[in-house]
Amino acid sequence: MQFLLTAIILFCTLLATGCGGGSDSGQSSPPVVVPSPEPRQTPTSGPVFSPVSIEGDITISGHITFDLVPHNAFGGLEYTKAAPEAVRGVTVQLMDATDSVIRQSKTDNDGFYSIGAPPNTQARVVVLAEYYSDAGPQWDFAVVDNTEGDSLYLLADTLALTTRLNETRDIHAESGWNRVLGEFDDEAHRPAAPFAVLHAVYQVVSAIAAADDSFVLPACTLNWSYRNKASAGDVTEGYVGTSYYDVFSNRIYILGDAYNDTDEYDFSVIQHELGHFFEDGLSRSDSIGGSHGLSSKLDMRVAFSEGFSNALTALVSGEPNYMDSAGTGLFDSFRFNLEDNLYGNAGWYNENSIGKVLYDLADSHNESGDALSLGFSAIYDVMTADGFIHSDALGSIFLFSEIFREQQPTAVTNEFKSLLASEAIYGTDRFGLDESNDGGDVSVLPIYSSMVQGETIEACSSNRFSEANGLGVNRFIRLSITNPGSVQFRIERVNGGSEVSNPNARLYKNRRFIAQMISSVNDLEVGVALLSTGEHVLEIFDKYNADEDSSLRNTTCFNVSVI
């Protein structure tokens, strides 16, 4: 993993030999420790590897902790109740006076480390905000500052002379909150934040490792900065808009705006985005993204992805309440319980329904109507199954349910069917066959229409519920190609509102996107694709229902011909 040693802030800690000051004292922040005056870059081939110890070393050991700030009953943060929490599985390095790495180790699952050190040597202990494994299960996470050239966050003690006796050097990262003044001493100086982010990562990785001892995740960079604010713009200046996962770069951006919206302690938010990363790295996600809410009627792909990610955070953290703090008051925050669906619009198109069903499937608390406690592994086994990843159906609760039924005994699948029915989900196969819940719009059923080459059928696109990713915007057709080769498509408006339409289409086979028909011609779309024999999924939508302009509410129907 590449990281910059001296472009990174090294946070001074409160040791007997440390810098003084503290979050409870009302004093100013400790001075910054910089290892050398010039930036120096480590090799780009991977992490720095140095021996843990060599013959003749003394041992430096200690406990690495950070301030864990809990949430109150409303979802807000209570900095006055912060308590030390172990920093688990991170890299610990011993640097000499020239800032060279001379020994390297890791903290264990309790936050303890042990590292060798040559006697009579000026050295400091440096803790890197990275969490990786390159043997057995493999993962690679790092917390960087996206506003400082992706500099890796570090935590360090002061440079001190080693003796010929073993030493203890504990290091603690503070939240930066001054309990006396009720504010941050310096909102830019919050050493605990990167390690709080890694704590959320640790919980997710631990759950995956308990389900699978041989998984391999791609590298993921978590971008946190005190400058990251809820305004869209240049992410290198902190204008990230919201905390989110960028599927194109395997990066998660995390808000850090101290007095407005900061997410380093909102593990629900971080783990939700890690859920999307999990789908991308180990499973599949067909989600088209976009805005969403607990009562929204969504495209089934979006509803499943968001619902799964909500359930994941509750399962890995052991906290059924999703918490998202904002501001500094009790009532500025957001909280909901995965056990409940109090927001209405239950169904296969609702993320809260999906989240509740998946959480009840796995959680250990069984209320009325919930007789299953299968653990996260039951969800993991479905979402990493070849039949799920490579299915010809698009990602949805229906696909999940079909694979789940294949893996579990009848008694279990009958209980799961009851859970689904409690959230008004009735489809019987991966294509949602026999689904009767239309969400209040009869045009959304059947979930997949069927056609064979040479046929013409009607498909309607509606933005009745919301733009772009709402229920009914995209219509799905199971298309059977019997004459492979050059296949012609014609999509023509037949009726609808007075507004102009622009039919568009995307084509998939075995989940792979293989073609699209997106032109600027109104009311008509034609295209040609070179196709093989077999079943495809054709997605039809009206561009004006997917353009994020909610001023026009329109349902437009098209004749779809394939020859």
Tell me the C-alpha distance between 546 and 558, whole Å: 16
User: Can you say how many angstroms the Cα of residue 539 is from the centroid of all Cα atoms in its chain?
Assistant: 26
Q: Are 487 and 505 in contact (CB under 8 A)?
A: no
Q: To which H or E segment does residue 276 belong?
A: helix 267-282
pLDDT at 497: 60
Q: Give the residue ranges of DSSP H helices in 59-164.
A: none
DSSP string, 15-40: -TTS----TTT-PPPPPPB-S-SS--
Neighbours of 546 (CB within 10 A): 20
CA dist 99 → 45, 49, 124, 306, 398 (Å): 19, 15, 9, 44, 55
pLDDT at 19: 30
User: Per the structure block, which two tokens stand in for 485?
Assistant: 């080769």
pLDDT at 369: 83
Neighbours of 284 (CB within 10 A): 18
CA angle 223, 106, 109 (to 5 degrees): 90
Per-residue buried b or exposed e for 77-97, using 16+ beta carbons within 10 Å of the residue's own CB: bebeebebbbbbbbbbbbbbe
Q: Are 219 and 112 in contact (CB under 8 A)?
A: no
Neighbours of 274 (CB within 10 A): 27
pLDDT at 549: 76
Q: What pTM value is reported for the model? A: 0.90
**What backbone torsions phi and psi does residue 528 show, to the nearest 5 degrees?**
-130, 135
Q: How confident is the model over 94-123, as pLDDT tens digits?
A: 999 998 999 999 999 999 999 999 999 999
Neighbours of 1 (CB within 10 A): 19
Q: Are 113 and 91 in contact (CB under 8 A)?
A: no
Tell me the C-alpha distance between 2 and 132, whole Å: 13
Tell me the C-alpha distance between 207 and 217, whole Å: 13
Q: How confident is the model over 267-307, as pLDDT tens digits?
A: 999 999 999 999 999 999 999 999 999 999 999 999 999 99
Tell me the C-alpha distance between 350 and 300, whole Å: 8
Tell me the C-alpha distance between 211 and 287, whole Å: 24
- Where residue 450 falls (left for φ over 0; alpha for ψ -120 to 50; beta otherwise) is beta
CA angle 83, 86, 91 (to 5 degrees): 140
- Tell whether the torsion through CA atoms of 49, 55, 57 and 62 is positive or negative: positive
The 8-class DSSP code of residue 70 comes to P
CA angle 311, 314, 316 (to 5 degrees): 105
Unique residue bearing structure tokens 């060279």: 100
pLDDT at 31: 28
pLDDT at 421: 97
Low-confidence ranges of the chain (pLDDT < 50): 1-47, 330
CA dist 505 → 36, 216, 307, 527 (Å): 57, 34, 26, 9
Tell me the C-alpha distance between 402 and 303, whole Å: 17
